[in-house]
Structure 1
Amino acid sequence: MASAVLTNPGLMRTLVAYQDGFTEALRDIFFHAMYSTRVDSYGQYLYPGLPPQAAETLFLSSEAYDLRFPAHVVIVQHDLLRLEQIFRCRPYLFTTDALRCALVAGAIPIVKYLLQFDLPPGNSKERLLDLAIPHGNVLLLQQLAATGCPRGSARGVAAAAAHGNIDVVQHLHAQAHDCSLAMDAAAAHGHIELVHFLYSNDVYGSAALDNAAMHGYADVVRYLLREGYDNTSAAWTVAANDGHLDVLKLLHAHHAPHCSAAALDYAAAEGHEHVVRFLHTERDEGATTDAIDGASGNGHASIVRFLLAHRAEGWTHEALDDAAAGGHVAILRLLLERPTPAPTVRTVEKAAEHGHASALTLLLDAGVAASDRAVRLAATHGHVVCLLELWAHRRRPWSVDVWGAALRHPTALQFLAEHAPECVDLDALAAMAALPLVSARLLRNLVPGAVAVNPRQCDVDVVALFPPHTWSSVTMREAIAAGNLPLVRYLHERCHDWCCPADDSLLVAAACNNSIDVVAFLCTHCPSAQATEAVWLQAARSGSLAVVRWLHEHSCHGATAAVMDVAAEAGALDVVRFLHRHREEGCTERAMRSAIASGEWRVVQFLCHYGELGVPAERRLQGLREAMTTSCEDGNSAGATVKDILPMLPEIAVRLQELELWSQ
């Protein structure tokens, strides 16, 4: 009888029509979405063949994998055909977030397709019209409005104005949208035609003139001044800061108020000499010491020379300090020609810190004293030429603090060892983690005998310089954490008795770091390294399928049902799938409960579909009910909400029904 049904084409089509599945064309995308896609710590979805996709632009959850991902990934691929197929097979994956995703991706044909359906609300609060406005498509806006979408915000209308989409702005204005920010945005981006339209329709804005002046749009400034717009000091100051001389001339010609000394200060600091000369000649607001200070710090020697010759505001120590920090020797010479204010030790420190040896030499030759801090700063940044200048002008021996400051720079250490041996501190060098090779050689040469070295080294060349007993299991774990197989091999072969404890700690560290080469080497060559349950658990917890597979293929001991439980809790679906297919330990009810509590819906889906190996039916039923109830009532701890669970309900409902029938 069964064969007669299965071989009858008509009956077979009827049976298949009620199956919950998808077409062959969608198999790859659902497979990769299920088993290959990752959500990293930055909330980016990593999908094979695509650059990382931010959860915000996909309009999906960033805390854990969102089951709507297959639908949204074809949206960003602009694949309308596959989207239609997914919609027919999995309509519950689509919410208004799919529309938002399509609008941001610019997939307008997909937007028009989705507008045919009454989609349930998604999680995002972004207004659909705001997302549609940048496309400049009035017909699209009309279609969205016809579906009952809320009005666009003032921010959305301002975005259209900023892009100069006059047709869109005219449409939104005609539909009585909030255009209060549109004039300011249009003026800031120089859209004069749009400014005319808005002004003629009584849309004014509060900062239009300032915005146009700040961005250098002289035609907009001219129009707004003619229409009686007011400005603030920002119009003068920012126009001067950005060198918009034509705008400044317009403001000056129209007697625009609120100019201040800050205009000349900013122009000088940014190097706009033509603006400095105009303000000096045509305006009487003057300047402050900030003018020379700013020009000196930014290296504008011609402006400094002009201000020194034509203005009397002077400068402060900041001019000298910032010129030294920037290595502006010509400006330092100009300022040193004046008696006050004189340079200080801080000026020397700035030159030493930034490695400007020429500026440092100029200051030291001028008789400016160098502090101990200047020496430490040069050493900290490895400026050996500056150290040489400071050493040539030193007035007393240097302290061991200089040696400590130079620890990261072997060439500086070498210089100190040769020229200032009084500051050498071998204990500080020996305590360094990640000791540079040159520093290690220096240490070995300075102390030919035994020396205590920080065991946290991860360079096989450094390790090889010292006797085997120098190193310990700390060194081995450091090598494992870095995945440094050559160093692991060296320590095993040359320093085994000191570096390889007879327990599972090394393999646990390797499993934690997903270092499959290190795991394979230790298991194969190091008798002290023991595979235990802790190793399996760590590999599962870290989602290290390669390590789990290696342990399985080499019959390593220690696997228990807890391994799949831990993998489920961590959302390591590929590990769960591998264990389900290749191991017999199964799992406990904790696997489903933890996966639901953690919002790992792909794992939940897998366990619903393939079952929880090793868990009796009645316990599966009870555990699934309890976990779902807990998540629906209080999902804050793991981000599991009713909306997250909705796409799962069809499969979970089927699973509950199967379990109830089985338990009966």
Structure 2
Amino acid sequence: MIATFESTVLAQPEIAGVVFSYQFGVYEDVRPAFAACRELTQHDGPTYYCDASFRGTFAPSTAWANGKHDDIKAADYALDDDACDARLPLHVAIVHGFAHVATRIIRCRPDLASDDVFFLAFCNDHIEIAELLLDQRPRIAELRRRVHPAADGSVSPASPLVAKAVATMLVRDGAKGLALLERFGLRPDDLPQRDDKRDALVGSTLENATIALDLFPWLYYPGLLESFAARGFLPLVQSLHQRGAACTVDAMRFAVVEGHLDVVKFVANILPEDRTTEVLDDAILGGHLDVVRFLFEHQAGSALPYHLDMAVVSNGRLDVIQYLHGLGTFDCTAHTVDAAVSHGNLPVVQFLLANRCEGCTRDDVVQAALQNGHLDMAEYLLSLGYPFPTSTTLVDEGCFGKLEMLGVLKLLVDHGAPWNDDWMVHACTANNVPLVKLLHPRMSTCSRIDVLLLAMEAHAWDVAHYLLANCLEDLSIEALEAALRFGRIDVASVILERQPELRHHNELLQSAVESRNTEVTRYLLAASIGRPRDCLLEIAGRPAHVTDSKLLLPFCMDAVDHLDNVLYLLQLVELPDRRRATMLQLITAELTFQGKKANQTIPLAPSVAVRATALLEAGDVVDWAQALVISHHCHHGAIALVRDAELQAQLTHLLLSKKRKRSTSTSDESTATLQP
């Protein structure tokens, strides 16, 4: 085998690395990522709008963790929202966990690297990427670069991004993430504000919070002890107190509300007794019996008459209510039982009516149960002899999702209440099919209110299918638009089958195209709905609409009039504010085919044929097509659109020659007319 420079030198990775370091470019295996970001995204302020094919192009044959196609929010990817950020390919690779793509991009384009890549890796819990990048940092200085300018002109990372990164590492199992943060070199100025530190620590595990304060003691902030008390982190509460942090009433209050009895006991032993009485209301509101019992047993004489009322109204915990009742020192009112009825807490109501003498508001209590959709409560109260309401009962809209509403409405009707149109509306939007089945035959709501539209707007698709199968009223274009907007082609197909005249609304296709709803666009095109040419004029040449443009193009071509097709394609090329490269990728093959078809009956003028054909063979199909059209139509204004100077000159000469011939012919005809 003959030795070559490639086989003997470049085959050695160390030497190849030195050689390639003097070259600027992109490795072959990451070219798709750069191409996707360049050709399939459209930057507009805080958003990079992505074509439907973006993901498949960026990382072919790769499974994305989130299967949903989403646009890219600049803030979520640590990108500049004022201008198109060159770091987009790298940051997309990191956010979505493509370790190989990310490391390869940094190797060939280190100028795109910054310490943002670490925070993105931490934020998205890709610690394997963070570790790989930390391994490369000694060799790639750009990985230490900071890119976010602070108000004073210095540079510092974006605080929300850092806080999220630290929070993600603190909430995960194990301490490896914290070890990587230490290796990265997390600094006090990364989280300069109190709120930043609080956001970072708020979801931490006890183990990680303990380690984090040892590694980064500057994470401490005033109020941290109270935060740990709310989480029930007794060891850290004790540790911070030993280091001088005060145990406050707020610390005890937070622990009480969350039911952390061990923390409550610790703080209670430190606070003066007159301060701990302040949290009794919070204990009742929290509804944790062990905490309530502890406070009452250690705070004799601090109970207040309204505590039983508070327990019923706030949380309805039967064990707490029974405990307070057993103390025998609390008042209770009829309104307390009314509140329990409204909340639907039947065990509490049964206990209070059986063990207290205050009772409830006799004439209103059944109505309160029905208004809130509590069938079992209403039936219980009626069994005790409480009267059925005589006034109109307005059932709360939020109750119509309950299965028991079927019984509630039957009970109302059995006692003389009229069928109410609002019931049907609320049942539809709550996706309560059994209730809709009950109501639909009994009222004329559908003839006056578009309940199908309301159901679809509420994503109540079970009800929508029922209505389509059972409601004979005309269907609205708004309902069809809603079905398509939400991508429910199954519902749209039923609507169009019932009322085919709705297919003549051309805005259906336009809306689907504008919203980049590719599947709906494909469906409408197959059904011959809409004006494809008008729609393509709106989106052709826009990177975020590449896929939809490709779908539309075949439907824009006439089967016979090839010259008209050429004229339309050239009209697309001439559109302003479009990306020419994107447009040419769209129309080149079709323009070549349509132009050759037209050329079979409309030949190029001999004076331009050689140059135009040479341009076509070189890939400049647009100038060739312009020459074909200009030769046929003699349109002088179109010459300015020809880019090749030689062909432009030939076409100008051709049109001048034709103009002179027409003038001569007209003069000869005039002379012949004047002769006797």
Which TM bucket (shorter chain)? 0.5 to 0.7
CA contact (8 A) 1:325 1:350 kept: yes
Residues 97 and 123 in structure 1, CA contact (< 8 A), matched pair in contact too: no
Q: Residue type of the partner of 2:55?
A: Y
Deviations 1:494-514 (A, max 9, x none): 755x4454x855543554454
Query: The residue matched to 1:373 in structure 2 has which SS?
Result: coil
Q: 2:65 aligns with which of 34, 40, 51?
A: 51
Q: Which residue in 2 is equivalent to 1:356?
A: 374
**Contact 1:380/1:405, CA 8 A, preserved across alignment:** no
The question of 1:231 aligning with 2:250 is answered no
Q: Does the 8 A contact of 2:91 with 2:120 survive in 1?
A: yes
CA contact (8 A) 1:60 1:66 kept: yes
Contact 2:453 2:478 in 1 (8 A): no
Q: TM-score, normalised by structure 2?
A: 0.59
Q: Distance in 2 between matches of 1:509 and 1:319?
A: 54
Quote the Cα distance in structure 2 between the aligned partners of 1:330 and 1:124: 60
Residue 192 of structure 2 is matched in structure 1 by: 153
Deviates more, 1:49-58 or 1:160-169: 160-169
- Is contact 2:110-2:142 (8 Å) kept? no
**Using a 3 Å threshold, how does the CA distance of structure 1 residues 30 and 431 change in structure 2: closer, same or farther?**
same
Question: Are 2:289 and 1:281 aligned?
Answer: no
Equivalent residue for 1:522?
527
Matching of residue 388 in structure 1 with residue 410 in structure 2: yes
Matches for 1:187-266 after TM superposition, within 5 Å: 206-207=222-223, 210-219=226-235, 230-254=246-270, 256-257=272-273, 259=275, 263-266=279-282
2:506 and 2:531 in contact (8 A); partners too: yes
Q: Where do 5+ consecutive residues of structure 2 fail to align?
A: 1-15, 57-62, 67-71, 151-155, 170-176, 456-462, 559-564, 594-618, 625-642, 649-676
1:549 to 548, 551, 562: 551
Give the distance between the partners of 1:294 and 1:612, measured in 2 at CA.
Answer: 81
1:363 maps to amino acid: L
Residue of structure 2 equivalent to 1:646: none
Please name the residue that 1:5 is paired with. Answer: none
Q: For residues 127-142 of structure 1, what are the structure 2 equivalents within 5 Å?
A: 127=157, 135-137=177-179
From 334, 337, 343, the equivalent of 2:361 is 343
Q: Which has the higher contact order (CA 8 A, sep 6+)?
A: 2
CA contact (8 A) 2:424 2:445 kept: no
Map residues 544-623 of structure 1 onto 2, 5 A cutoff.
Answer: 545-546=547-548, 548-552=550-554, 555-556=557-558, 559=568, 563=572, 577-579=585-587, 582-583=590-591
For 1:63 and 1:348, the matched residues in 2 are separated by: 60
Cα displacement (A) at 1:483: 5.8
- SS of the aligned residue for 1:234 comes to helix
1:122 matched residue in structure 2:
147
Report deviation, 1:385. 0.9
The residue that corresponds to 2:29 in the other structure is: 25
> 1:70 maps to what in 2?
89
Cα distance, 1:359 vs structure 2: 0.9
Q: 1:461 to 1:611 in 2, by over 3 A?
A: farther
Distance in 1 of aligned mates of 2:314 and 2:340: 5
CA distance in structure 2 between the aligned counterparts of 1:509 and 1:139, rounded to whole angstroms: 47
Counterpart code for 1:462: L
Q: 1:559 to 1:168 in 2, by over 3 A?
A: same
Name the counterpart of 2:59: none
1:302-451 alignment, distance < 5 Å: 302-315=319-332, 319-337=336-354, 338-340=356-358, 342-343=360-361, 347-365=365-383, 366-370=385-389, 371-375=391-395, 380-381=400-401, 383-392=405-414, 394=415, 397-398=417-418, 400=420, 403=423, 408=428, 411-412=434-435, 415=438, 426=444, 429-434=447-452
Deviations 1:550-599 (A, max 9, x none): 43366246945664687966x898676323554479xxxxxxxxxxxxxx
Cα separation, partners in 2 of 1:614 and 1:433, compared to 1, 3 Å: farther
Report if the CA contact (8 A) 1:157-1:169 is conserved: no
Q: Is the 8 A contact 1:519 1:547 kept in 2?
A: no
> Can you list the C-alpha shifts for 1:518-557, whole angstroms capped at 9, x where unaligned?
333333xxxxx67464232355478262464343366246
C-alpha deviation, 1:611, in angstroms: 11
User: Does the 8 Å CA contact 2:371/2:393 hold for their aligned counterparts?
Assistant: no
Query: How many residues are treated as equivalent by the alignment?
Result: 515
Contact 2:341-2:365 at 8 Å conserved across structures: yes
Q: What's 1:626 paired with?
A: none
Would you say the 8 A contact 2:372–2:395 is kept in 1?
no
Q: Show CA shifts across 1:437-481 (max 9, x none).
A: 9xxxxxxxxxxxxxxxxxxx98698378648xx467667656655
- Separation in 1 of the partners of 2:269 and 2:507? 79
Q: Residues 379 and 29 from structure 1, CA distance in 2 versus in 1: closer, same or farther, beyond 3 angstroms?
A: closer
Q: Note closer, same or farther for the CA distance 1:509–1:522 as it changes in structure 2 (3 Å cut).
A: farther
Correspondence for 1:535 = 535
- Kindly indicate whether residue 110 of structure 2 is the aligned counterpart of residue 108 of structure 1: no
Does the 8 A contact of 1:240 with 1:248 survive in 2?
yes
Contact 1:38/1:47 (<8 A) preserved: no
Deviation at 1:331, TM superposition (A): 1.0
Q: Which runs of 5+ in 1 are unaligned?
A: 1-12, 174-178, 185-205, 419-423, 438-456, 524-528, 586-609, 616-657
Shift of 1:266: 3.3
Q: Distance in 2 between matches of 1:137 and 1:51?
A: 26
1:591-627: CA deviation from partner (whole Å, max 9, x where unpaired): xxxxxxxxxxxxxxxxxxx999679xxxxxxxxxxxx
Contact kept, 8 Å, 1:236 with 1:258, in 2: the verdict is no
Return the letter of the residue paired with 1:314.
Answer: D
- CA distance in 2 between counterparts of 1:144 and 1:226 reads 26
Between the aligned residues of both structures, percent identity stands at 19
* Shift in Å, 1:332: 0.6
RMSD: 5.4
Residue matched to 1:462: 468
Where does residue 97 of structure 1 map in the other structure? 116
- Displacement of 1:336: 2.8
Structure 1: which amino acid aligns with 2:587?
L
Contact 1:236–1:263, Cα closer than 8 Å, also in 2: yes
In the superposition, relative to structure 1, how do residues 69 and 18 fare at CA in structure 2: closer, same or farther (>3 Å)?
Answer: same
Q: Distance between the aligned counterparts of 1:430 and 1:309, measured in 2? A: 57
SS at match of 1:47: helix
TM-score by length of 1: 0.60
Q: Report what 1:267 is aligned to.
A: 283
Contact 1:259 1:285 in 2 (8 A): no
For residues 523 and 227 of structure 2, the distance between their equivalents in structure 1, rounded to whole angstroms, comes to 60
SS at match of 2:452: coil
Residues in 1 aligned to 2:84 and 2:320: alpha-carbon distance in whole angstroms: 58
SS state at 1:434 partner: helix
CA contact (8 A) 2:210 2:236 kept: no
- Counterparts of 2:396 and 2:185, CA distance in 1: 68
Tell me how far 1:61 sits from its aligned partner. Answer: 4.1
1: CA distance, partners of 2:581 / 2:333: 64
Q: Secondary structure at the match of 1:22?
A: coil
Helix, strand or coil at the partner of 2:324: helix
Amino acid at match of 1:267: A
**Which structure has the larger Rg over C-alpha atoms?**
2
Contact 1:87/1:94 (8 A) holds in 2: yes
